């Protein structure tokens, strides 16, 4: 099937995307879910390409794998775990069994505890030594940071609780800048760590505890923890009623739907958080039941496979024309690159094709004035994924939102259409140029065009649509990983650096020599130490 797809790509790769458009293409290469629309017509995919991709998906038994995931089978084979973040938003979808046990009663219980706690923090029944909480500091990194932070920025118009801050980096600059703006007597610190062993989070949690101890009599009473490791949260001194636990079948980068989302719930309120879960649940239902031809996550995944593994485009730009999705690219970097950046298949054999793509991006229109030059005229093709809402939240500034929408659509059009040498010559001639100078100047104004993009459009960035968007990308990652035959749910690639950092710390601190290190590393340690490290 891969060969058939490659042959198909060879046969069609030089045709302009624009030439594919007939009366029905835009409709036939779009998919709707409720009032959300994914348009993938501005790609070089045709009926035959899509058919081959769906065959590939069927050959990879994606339906069986999907059903195994939703049924709580241990599909994370290298860690022997189920993958059930979908259970966290399965609000009324019936039982979900892991080893014969229904996990839903526990999910509902924890969600209810979160609701009670978040409401109490928001209305002041739960307060700090100095009174009602004004600030909440979420200390966590990776999956214990990116999701709630992305969500809190995305849903800022719904935030009517205390201010929420995020500290992730072990760089003390991060926590110092946040704590400087907070009053310890009215600050709630949430330590978010699935394992409760992550070096950065533990260091920051200790720093926050020391900061709080200076002014607050019982600092532990102003801490809460989100973790699967209740023994470790207890050892840190956090009372069990302030610990919100979850199970090992929730992967870190898939965890914002449960306790790791507590800071987001405090910011926007339990009701809006529930709407976010509902959005995720709606996407789950769609993913499980829609025909592949109409299945949004599956089609987005197939477009991804086409661009990355077949066309050979190594990167994928995520370009939200929605400023509050400014952290979505960072969130997706973890979701996609930590999930599908793997070089071996499930059975431990080397992967014979490229692994998942490099994901990057920035909100539009900012990026237009920075890196779009390369996207339009550079020699590498960068498939672009635009996101755009019909309406913003600033009704009195709707005219500006309309400019935003026009820019999003203009970019995808420009990428596809390009500008020929003929057109460039005409422009230069109108400016009074001729001869060699006209030729030279015109060449710089040519746009190759036929650069592929998709556009995800939705009415407004509200909690429900954010839930749909996040679940859409989660399932896209699942489908791409299932087609590649890799395990999308482990992350062994982050281990080696952690181990080496542990070994290097005493050398940086000057307690150990660097003889065992290569000359570059030893030289850098010596340089940094001589300058005060």
141 lies in the binding site for ligand G6P (CB under 6 A): yes
Q: Which of 503, 520, 521 is nearest to 512 (CA)?
A: 503
Residue 522 in tokens:
């030893």
Q: Using the rule CB under 6 A, is 138 a contact of ligand G6P?
A: no
Tell me the number of residues near ligand G6P by CB under 6 A: 14
Establish if 286 lies at the interface with ligand G6P (CB under 6 A).
Answer: no
SS3 content of the chain, % helix, strand, coil (to 5): 55, 15, 30
Q: Scan residues 200-219 and list those touching ligand G6P (CB under 6 A).
A: 201
Based on the shown chain and the rule CB under 6 A, indicate whether residue 501 belongs to the binding site for ligand G6P: no
Q: Is 498 a catalytic residue?
A: yes
Stretch that binds ligand G6P, among 6-14, 129-137, 138-146, 384-392 (CB under 6 A): 138-146
Structure tokens at 218: 């019982």
Token pair 């001639």: residue: 429
Secondary element (H or E) of residue 465? helix 463-484
Select 85 or 313, whichever has its Cβ closest to ligand G6P: 85
Q: Minimum distance from CB of 351 to ligand G6P (Å)?
A: 20
- The question of whether 426 is a catalytic residue gets the answer no
Q: Is 430 a catalytic residue?
A: no
- Region of 139-147, 267-275, 324-332, 402-410 interacting with ligand G6P (CB under 6 A): 139-147
- Which position among 149, 194, 376, 419 is part of the footprint of ligand G6P (CB under 6 A)? 194
Nearest approach in angstroms of CB 196 to ligand G6P is: 7
Inter-residue contact 346 to 77 (CB < 8 Å): yes
Question: Are the C-beta atoms of 453 and 382 separated by less than 8 Å?
Answer: no
Segment near ligand G6P (CB under 6 A); pick from 141-149, 345-353, 469-477, 508-516? 141-149
Of 208, 229, 131, the residue nearest 165 (C-alpha):
208
Q: Which of 13, 108, 398, 498 is catalytic?
A: 498
Report how far residue 66's alpha carbon sits from residue 71's, in angstroms, rounded to the nearest whole number. 9
Among 151-159, 188-196, 317-325, 391-399, the segment contacting ligand G6P (CB under 6 A): 188-196
Q: Which stretch binds ligand G6P (CB under 6 A): 52-60, 169-177, 195-203, 322-330?
A: 195-203
Binding of ligand G6P by 143 (CB under 6 A): yes
Token pair belonging to 1 = 């099937």
At residue 400, φ and ψ (nearest 5 deg) are -70, -35
Site string for ligand G6P, 301-340 (x = CB under 6 A): -------------------------------------x--
CA angle 67, 72, 74 (to 5 degrees): 100
Phi, psi of 113 (to 5 degrees): -65, -40
Closer CB to ligand G6P, 142 or 184, in the complex: 142
Pick the piece of the chain touching ligand G6P (CB under 6 A) from 70-78, 137-145, 181-189, 351-359.
137-145
Name which of 334, 385, 340 is nearest 38 in CA terms: 385
Query: What distance lies between CA 14 and its chain's CA centroid?
Result: 33
Q: In the set 18, 494, 501, 528, which binds ligand G6P (CB under 6 A)?
A: 494
Among the options 126, 247, 336, 338, which is catalytic? 338
**Are 73 and 82 a contacting pair, CB within 8 Å?**
yes
The answer to whether 477 touches 340, Cβ cutoff 8 Å, is yes
Helices (H) and strands (E) in the chain, counts: 21, 15
Say how far residue 188 (Cα) sits from the centre of its chain. Answer: 26
Closest approach, Cβ 455 to ligand G6P, in A, equals 30
Could you write out the DSSP letters of every residue in 361-378? ---TTGGGGTTHHHHHHS
| Residue of 129, 134, 185, 195 that binds ligand G6P (CB under 6 A) | 195
Selected from 168, 186, 193, 454, the binder of ligand G6P by CB under 6 A is 193
180 C-beta neighbours (distance < 10 Å), count: 8
Site string for ligand G6P, 375-394 (x = CB under 6 A): --------------------
Task: Tell the smallest beta-carbon distance from residue 144 to ligand G6P (Å).
Answer: 4
- CA gap 79, 229 in Å, rounded: 17
349, 369, 430, 531: which is the annotated catalytic residue?
A: 369
CA pair distance 533, 494, nearest whole angstrom: 25
Closest CA to 492 of 341, 358, 347, 351: 341
CB 146 → ligand G6P: shortest distance, Å?
Answer: 8
Q: How far is the CB of 280 from ligand G6P (least distance, A)?
A: 18
- The CA-to-CA distance between both ends of the chain, in Å, stands at 55
The owner of tokens 């969600």 is 111
Instruction: State the minimum distance, in angstroms, from the CB of residue 494 to ligand G6P.
Output: 4
Which residues in the 50-109 window bind ligand G6P by CB under 6 A? none
Is residue 281 within the footprint of ligand G6P (CB under 6 A)? no
E-strand stretches of 5-156: 30-33, 36-39, 97-98, 101-102, 127-128, 131-132, 135-139
- By beta-carbon proximity to ligand G6P, the closer residue of 142 and 161 is 142
Site residues, ligand G6P (CB under 6 A): 141-144, 193-195, 198, 201, 252-253, 338, 491, 494
What amino acid positions are annotated as catalytic residues? 338, 369, 498
């Amino acid at each position: 099937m891969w060969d058939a797809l490659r042959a198909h790509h060879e046969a069609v790769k030089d045709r302009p995307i624009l030439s594919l458009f007939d009366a029905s293409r835009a409709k036939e290469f779009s998919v709707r879910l409720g009032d959300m629309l994914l348009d993938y017509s501005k790609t070089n995919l045709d009926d035959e390409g899509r058919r081959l991709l769906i065959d590939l998906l069927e050959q990879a038994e994606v339906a069986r794998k999907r059903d195994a995931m939703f049924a709580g089978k241990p599909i994370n084979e290298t860690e022997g775990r189920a993958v059930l973040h979908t259970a966290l938003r399965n609000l009324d979808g019936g039982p979900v069994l892991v080893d014969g046990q229904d996990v839903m009663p526990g999910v509902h219980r924890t969600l209810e505890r979160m609701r009670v706690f978040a409401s109490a923090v928001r209305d002041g029944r739960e307060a700090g030594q100095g009174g009602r909480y004004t600030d909440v500091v979420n200390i966590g990194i990776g999956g214990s940071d990116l999701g709630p932070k992305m969500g809190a920025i995305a849903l800022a118009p719904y935030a009517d609780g205390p201010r929420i801050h995020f500290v992730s980096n072990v760089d003390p600059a991060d926590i110092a800048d946040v704590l400087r703006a907070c009053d310890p007597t009215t600050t709630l610190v949430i330590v978010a760590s699935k394992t409760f062993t992550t070096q950065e989070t533990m260091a920051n949690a200790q720093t926050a505890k020391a900061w709080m101890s200076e002014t607050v009599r019982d600092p532990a009473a102003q801490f809460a923890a989100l973790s699967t490791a209740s023994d470790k949260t207890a050892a840190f001194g956090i009372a069990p009623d302030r610990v919100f636990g979850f199970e090992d079948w929730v992967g870190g980068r898939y965890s914002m739907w449960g306790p790791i989302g507590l800071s987001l719930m405090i910011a926007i309120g339990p009701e809006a958080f529930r709407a976010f879960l509902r959005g995720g649940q709606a996407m789950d239902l769609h993913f499980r039941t829609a025909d592949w031809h109409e299945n949004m996550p599956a089609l987005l995944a197939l477009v991804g496979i086409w661009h990355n593994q077949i066309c050979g485009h190594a990167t994928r730009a995520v370009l939200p024309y929605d400023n509050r999705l400014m952290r979505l690219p960072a969130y997706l970097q973890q979701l996609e690159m930590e999930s599908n950046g793997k070089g071996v298949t499930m059975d431990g054999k080397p992967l014979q094709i490229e692994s998942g793509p490099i994901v990057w991006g920035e909100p539009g229109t900012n990026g237009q004035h920075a890196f779009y030059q390369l996207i339009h005229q550079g020699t590498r093709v960068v498939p672009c994924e635009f996101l755009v809402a019909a309406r913003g939240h600033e009704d009195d500034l709707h005219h500006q939102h309309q400019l935003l929408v026009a820019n999003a659509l203009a970019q995808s059009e420009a990428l596809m259409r390009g500008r020929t040498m003929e057109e460039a010559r005409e422009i230069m001639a109108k400016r009074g140029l001729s001869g060699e100078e006209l030729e030279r100047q015109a060449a710089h104004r040519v746009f190759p065009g036929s650069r592929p993009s998709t556009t995800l459009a939705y009415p407004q960035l509200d909690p429900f649509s954010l839930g749909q968007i996040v679940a859409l990308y989660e399932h896209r990652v699942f489908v791409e990983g299932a087609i590649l035959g890799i395990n999308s749910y482990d992350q062994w690639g982050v281990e080696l650096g952690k181990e080496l950092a542990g070994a290097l710390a005493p050398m940086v601190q000057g307690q150990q020599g660097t003889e065992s290190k290569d000359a570059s590393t030893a030289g850098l340690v010596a340089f940094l130490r001589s300058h005060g490290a």
